[in-house]
Amino acid sequence: MSVLTIAMNTFRESIRNRVMINILLFAVGLILLSIVLGEWSLGEQIKVIKDFGLSAMSIFGLLIAIFIGIRLMVQELEQRTIYLIASKPIRRWEIVLGKYSGLALTLIVNVILMAVTLLVVNLIIEGRIDLGLLPAVFLIYIEILLIVAFALFFSSLMSPQLSALATLILYMLGHLTNFLYEYIRVFPDKGFHWLLKGIYYIVPNLEKLNLKMAVVDHVPQPPHVVAWATAYGLCYIVIVLILTAAVFNKKDLK
Amino acid sequence: MAVPAVKIDHLTKIYSADLGKKPMCAVDDLNLEVEQGEVFAFLGPNGAGKTTTIKTMMRLLFPTRGFVEIFGIPNLSVKAMRSVGFLPEQPQIYGYLTGREFLDFTARLFRLDRSTRKKRIDDCLEQVGLIKRADGLIRGYSRGMMQRLGLAQALINDPELLVLDEPMSNLDPVGRKEFRDLILELKDKGKTLFFSSHILSDAEMIADRVGIVNQGRLVNTGKLRDLIEAQIRSIEITFIMTPDKTAKLGFEQANIVQQDEHMLVRLENDADVQRTIGDIMRLDGRIVSVVPQKRTLEDIFMTELGG
């Protein structure tokens, strides 16, 4: 129940947060703008709109995850509002899980709003709603959840600026792990390949959660592909949240 | 014998070194017990270790050594916190909530049911004088209102132990008077209060017992009355008598202060007081007053701190 209470309060904080609303409005505006971009593309209007719309969702989801995820936890610590929560009869991990659940709820509302905008644009241009986009949208949500978990973890360890940088680097590395793997395979004798191998095994492969190109190209996505990708993402989320709770559990709230 | 409301046993807190800084011992082997139903004032100058001790009691900091028990239960357990209300120093509260929403949030953290929540929220708002501003956003509150709301959230679970860190620092004189009245009201209900303060007059008015902390160490503790009475400095006798008869009392002239017809003599021990009163009466003098000159809490405080 404490987790739910903190989650609902975090959700309330997020939706009353002007930064998040501005990012969201900008994202929705940009998805709407894809109609114009589509006009400029020669014969590929629908494809460009879908591609651009899904990418906008992914990028703005990342921005919201970084800004809100890091800010919410750091703000609690810096402004010392955490004193009034952590001194109540609740466990530290309940605070972490509550904060994370509230963010997850905020993000699902954001993703739904962006997805509805994309589908409306799709309806206007194509005259039908392409439900084939939904697996990609769902995995974008899982990816954002994963990024938020890391953002929360980093912000329990370091300053907000470093946390944002670390989250951004993780996002980029996460999309480059396939290249890393190829590099290690082709050049196995390079001196620093142990470092690249470490990164490859620790950083989640975010390309596993990327179905954008596939759905835009109408490549069929069997349910087990989405299910495996979801399980992969959720496993990482659980591990990162356990680590965050362990760090927070020992943290002096000065 | 009832378990103490608070037991602090050999508490030590050393802040680990940040970059370029040495480790800092904020609390050094502190032992303290606060009995149930007591109003305990924890006094000390800035940086003495009061807030660190309180934060450790409230599980915000982890002790380097030692432990804290609340009503016999280790403070690190969730159960111990169910009967505690806490007001931090200069509380910061979510500006995006209204006062009522914030109290509802804290009441939920204590798992109060809906009807209890509603009643406690109204009662607490009434108690701290915020009922009329309860539905305004907290970001519009003054510092004094924030302090009152902080106190309301500390009372939301009707705690048996109230821990308050510098509770009167943001209050105006009226607020401080109301606050003192509230503490006395809570004391009458049998609640235990532990508060830190650097405003000694407030502590003197409401505390049963005080502890004085300096450089992380408890340097004195005891019942306020005992501390003050144990430290009577002198007794002043004021009497009316002619100067020639006064000379027969045998005091050196320098030890007697004359103001119009009044004579004042300051004596250090009871035997001298008894003898002098007898002599004054025998010489047909008139005693106006016999006043023990007690040390104030401030005197004791300054002595303990080496001032």
Least confident of A228-232, B171-175, B181-185, B293-297: B293-297
Q: What share of chain B is helix, strand, coil (3-state, %, to 5)?
A: 35, 30, 35
Mutation for B interface: A87, A93, A97, most B CBs within 10 A: A87
Whether residue B253 is predicted with pLDDT greater than 80 in this model: the reply is no
Mutation for A interface: B13, B27, B60, most A CBs within 10 A: B60
- Predicted pLDDT at A167: 93
- Predicted pLDDT at A59: 87
Reported as a pLDDT band with limits 50, 70 and 90, residue B307 is low
Task: Look at A252 and B61 and tell me if their CB atoms are within 8 Å.
Answer: yes
- Predicted pLDDT at A36: 74
- Predicted pLDDT at A146: 95
Q: What are phi and psi of B219, to 5 degrees?
A: -100, -20
Report the gap between the CA of B93 and the closest CA in chain A (Å).
6
Mean pLDDT, range A18-36, rounded to an integer: 76
Report the gap between the CA of B264 and the closest CA in chain A (Å).
55
Domains and CATH numbers, chain B: 6-228 (3.40.50.300), 234-293 (3.30.70)
Mean pLDDT, range A196-208, rounded to an integer: 87
- Predicted pLDDT at A171: 92
Provide, as residue numbers in chain B, all residues whose Cβ is less than 8 Å from the Cβ of A17.
96
Task: Look at B110 and A88 and tell me if their CB atoms are within 8 Å.
Answer: yes
Q: Each residue of B228-246: pLDDT tens digit?
A: 666 666 888 999 988 888 8
Interface confidence (ipTM) of the complex: 0.84
Q: What share of chain A is helix, strand, coil (3-state, %, to 5)?
A: 80, 0, 20
Distances (CA, A) of A145 to A93, A115, B3, B11, B136: 18, 16, 47, 41, 34
A196: amino acid identity, one letter? L
- Predicted pLDDT at B295: 66
Per DSSP bridges, beta strands B256-259 and B286-294 are: unpaired
Joined together, the tokens standing for residue A245 give 């709770």
Task: Calculate what percentage of chain B has a pLDDT beyond 70.
Answer: 93
> What strand order describes the sheet that includes B65-70?
B24-34, B6-15, B65-70, B73-74
Reported as a pLDDT band with limits 50, 70 and 90, residue A191 is low
Mean pLDDT, range B45-61, rounded to an integer: 93
Q: Which residue has the tokens 């915020």?
A: B130
Report the gap between the CA of A89 and the closest CA in chain B (Å).
5
Distance CA A201, CA B303 (A): 64
